Amino acid sequence: MAETQIPLFPQRGARGQYGPPIAQIKAITADSSLAMAASAYHDHMVRQGFSEHTIKAFGGDLRLLQKYFGSSTAIIKLGTKELNDFLTWLLHYRGVPCSPKSYARRVTALKSFFGWLTSIKILPRDPAAPIIHARAKAPLPLFLNDEQLEKFLNAAEIKLNGDRSDPRPYLLAHLVLQTGIKKAECVGIALRDIDRSGSEPSVLIRYTNPRMQHKERKLAFAAELLPVLDQYIEKYQPKEYLFECTPRNLEYVLADVSELAGLPDQVSFEMLRWTSALRDYRDGMEHDHLRKKLGLSKITWRETSEKLAKIANPGL
């Protein structure tokens, strides 16, 4: 008896005999609604292996597009002028701040979305192609000049040596200034990661997210800070983490010191981080070493180094 050979491909009319199709591609036309086209583009991103972050971000950007024009608007009705009007609304009239990075990503989302629609012949021309994709740069950062920094550190010392001695402001201010760590990194410091064994004490910055582990690093700080660290531990009795409070509480600590110092602006973690980087930059720290100290990628360092060069140079 001859064996029946199983066909390699489904036979005509035998739809789904080997299981359902992997994906049903939505049939869209130039008259399809923004909502339908955005849904089809979401499926396209999934099929193409876009990262989860990109899919989520672009999806949110296209929802804003639908909010502005209406989800039922036909995609053929959107030209370059309409897209530029949308971008102007994002920047000036939406009532929600649009950072340079968010703006640049939203332009990218428009170009990717309409470029895809054009590539699969849904649209006759790409309305997003003429949009100028200028790289949006954030303004120069805020930092403490030498006089302001002296006032700030003096105020922290007053907190340390006052009648109601509090070592936390002094420890926090000097630790961030010496290491240049971010707020989240500061809150995440575990007691076990403070190393006193070497000639110079250090702290290990860890990340639980595997994608962020390239930012992990060991940072040195001055041995003169150890007595204050011991005072702090004796007073606050932390069990697992150095600062066992919310990030907002630490912001209040910096705000109190800023007020005592009589500074015009409240000092933030970001200001201290930039002040730390600026001091190292001016002291001639090798650039790649400073990049690693700050936990920055080479791409991010390009813009950071440009800003440091501008604020480090004397006035013209």
Domain boundary pick from 79, 102, 119: 119
Tell whether 261 and 150 lie within a shared domain: yes
- CATH code, 266: 1.10.443.10
Structural domain total, the chain: 2
Tell whether 81 and 156 lie within a shared domain: no
**pLDDT reading at 8 higher than 80:** no
pLDDT at residue number 209: 82
In a domain, 230, yes or no: yes
Domain boundary pick from 75, 100, 119: 119
- CATH code, 48: 1.10.150.130
pLDDT level of residue 155 (50, 70, 90 thresholds): very high
Tell whether 221 and 281 lie within a shared domain: yes
Q: Which domain holds residue 233?
A: 146-312
In a domain, 103, yes or no: yes
pLDDT level of residue 13 (50, 70, 90 thresholds): very low
In a domain, 11, yes or no: no
Residue from 247, 240, 239, 235 nearest 176 by CA: 247
In a domain, 137, yes or no: no
Helices (H) and strands (E) in the chain, counts: 12, 3
How far apart, in whole angstroms, are the C-alpha atoms of residue 248 and residue 1?
A: 80
In a domain, 115, yes or no: yes
Convert the pLDDT of each residue in 21-51 to its tens digit: 444 445 899 999 999 999 999 999 999 988 8
In a domain, 135, yes or no: no
pLDDT at residue number 15: 42
Token pair, residue 106, equals 């939203």
Assess contact for 250 and 187: CB atoms under 8 A. Answer: yes
Tell whether 307 and 209 lie within a shared domain: yes
In a domain, 112, yes or no: yes
Residue from 296, 293, 278, 287 nearest 140 by CA: 278
pLDDT at residue number 303: 84
pTM of the predicted structure, to 2 decimals: 0.63
Task: Choose the weakest-confidence range: 1-5, 26-30, 286-290.
Answer: 1-5
How far apart, in whole angstroms, are the C-alpha atoms of residue 155 and residue 149?
A: 10
The residue that leads in pLDDT, 145 or 10, is: 145
Convert the pLDDT of each residue in 186-225 to its tens digit: 999 999 999 999 889 999 999 988 878 889 999 999 999 9
Token pair, residue 248, equals 């907002």
Tell whether 57 and 175 lie within a shared domain: no
pLDDT at residue number 312: 93
Tell whether 82 and 154 lie within a shared domain: no
pLDDT at residue number 313: 87
